[in-house]
Amino acid sequence: METISEQACFGGVQGVYRHGSQTCDCDMTFGLFLPDEARDGPVPVLWFLSGLTCTHENAMTKAGAQAHAAAEGIALVFPDTSPRGAEVADADDFAMGQGASFYVNATQAPWSKQYRMWDYLAQELPDLLAAEVPLDMGRQAITGHSMGGHGALTLGMGLKGRFRSISAFAPMSNTTQSDWGVPQLSQYLGEDRTAWEAHDASLLMARDGFDGPVLIDQGTADQFLDKLRPEALARAIAERRQEATFRMQPGYDHSYFFVSSFMEDHVEFHAQALWA
């Protein structure tokens, strides 16, 4: 881990770090907040996955999560949303390529060489942090916004036993039926739609659910509601009788004003599961 920056933050440290990733075949950057309690030993960790066009920096600077995490004594990890660099495949469409990995392991050229964000988040980055940072990897939770909400839900349900709780802000909820999903999954994973199913939160919820609590917040004034398809996820939660809270928040849009408004609720929700 190469230190890019470290600043005192709510009694702890907000850092930005870079490392060479074998999984993504490029340098990867991430943010990490450690509360003051980490000076004395490992602390629980909450992952925050960001959305389209974002880097590690968006949620780190806009979500207001550090104050709430410090109050609960938990760490925050802010990964990047994709591999990056001049040699990394990209696209003119903001919803494809760098900043738009959809958190999958791509199987189709040119994406398959480096777009392996599922493995990066499931194995490489957690292994690095476990070796270098005082984190209690037996106490993990995950959240995210938009494409990151999709990632939080699919990783959370797909990695059985890894996370104690899942939450999401305005997640892409039904990617196999959405303009935010079908074009990207077809390019990353090919035309066999059965390969897409592991990356659709509504299908995973209906099929597998999650062995723990789930919290979803969605704004009613979100300009992307037709692409997000929250009704599909709400229906799957209800039909499965999943332990979950699904809240439609009146007047809120898709921005970080929305995310920051309910971040305290989400951190407290995860803290209850992490410290149980």
Active site residues: 146, 222, 254
Determine contact, residues 256/204, Cβ cutoff 8 Å: no
> Quick one: how far is CA 43 from the chain centroid?
19
Distances (CA, A) of 207 to 24, 91, 154, 157, 242: 30, 33, 12, 10, 11
Helix, strand, coil distribution of the chain in percent, nearest 5: 40, 25, 35
Q: Give CB contacts under 8 A, 24+ apart, made by 89-96.
A: 89/113, 89/114, 89/115, 93/183, 94/52, 94/53, 95/52, 95/180, 95/183, 95/184, 96/183, 96/184, 96/187
> Quick one: how far is CA 42 from the chain centroid?
22
CA dist 58 and 145 (Å) reads 11
Tokens (6 digits) for 248: 């439609």
Angle subtended at Cα 62 by Cα 83 and Cα 8, rounded to the nearest 5 degrees: 90
